[in-house]
Amino acid sequence: MSAGSVPSVNGRPVKGVETEVLAQVKARFGSKILESGIPRPQNVKVVIDRSELVEVCTYLKEALAFEHLSCISAVDWKDRFETVYHIMNYYNGCTIQVSARIPYDDPRIASVCSLWNAANYHEREAWDLMGITYEGHPNLERILLPQDFKFHPLRKDFAQEVDRQYISRRKLKGGK
């Protein structure tokens, strides 16, 4: 991979690519895919366990040319965590959404920084706000909040003032 070469991307989507991608991923990983589906054209969705993450991502990048890691989101489902990876293929316009499940009492998952450098900031942000440890990350520090902050505010048990925004004028005047 030389830094200067320009990949030949024609910038147009390929019709029907989503079924092909899903079939390839299913054929390769079989029962390791917990759930899968096609939410809309050009989009594929798979759910996996955290232990399969690096293997699936390596396959997606090396074999299926998903070269653009768009986003990493961390979700707190109260009984488990989930990190969601949106990865895009620039050659055919297909986007795959990989959700990796993480048990609540052990929020750790492997880092994908070695595949996509873009993961660096996203994983730091997810650690900062949701408190999920990405193992193998080169520099897992807080990025948005101060270094001495003690909490992970996007977790559902981090309370915020909900009531204040919903006081109506009538209520303020003493009505219901």
Q: Which spans of this chain sit near another protein (rule: CB under 8 A)?
A: 1-7, 9-13, 39-40, 42, 67-71, 73, 75-76, 84, 86, 88, 90, 93, 95, 97, 116-118, 120-122, 125, 129, 142-146, 153-154, 158, 160, 162, 165
Which one, 27 or 148, has the nearer CB to another protein?
148
CA distance 71 to 86: 5
**CB of residue 86 vs another protein: minimum separation in angstroms?**
6
Which residue, chain included where needed, has tokens 């910038």?
Answer: 11
Residue 162 CB, shortest distance to another protein, in Å, is: 5
Closer CB to another protein, residue 135 or residue 161?
A: 161
CA distances from 107 to 40, 47, 156 (A): 31, 17, 14
Q: Which is nearer to another protein, 32 or 68 (CB)?
A: 68
Please report how close the Cβ of residue 118 comes to another protein at its closest, in angstroms.
3
Between 40 and 170, name the residue whose CB sits nearer to another protein: 40
Nearest to residue 156, comparing CAs of 135, 131, 122? 131
Which is closer to another protein, CB of 27 or CB of 162? 162
CB 28 within 8 A of CB 59: yes
Q: How far is the CB of 73 from another protein (least distance, A)?
A: 4
- 132 Cβ partners below 8 Å, 6+ apart? 74, 81, 83, 102, 107, 108, 109, 126
Helix (H, G, I), strand (E, B) or coil at 116: coil
What does the alpha-carbon distance between residue 161 and residue 169 come to, in Å, rounded to a whole number? 18
Q: Give min distance, CB of 115 to another protein, in A.
A: 9
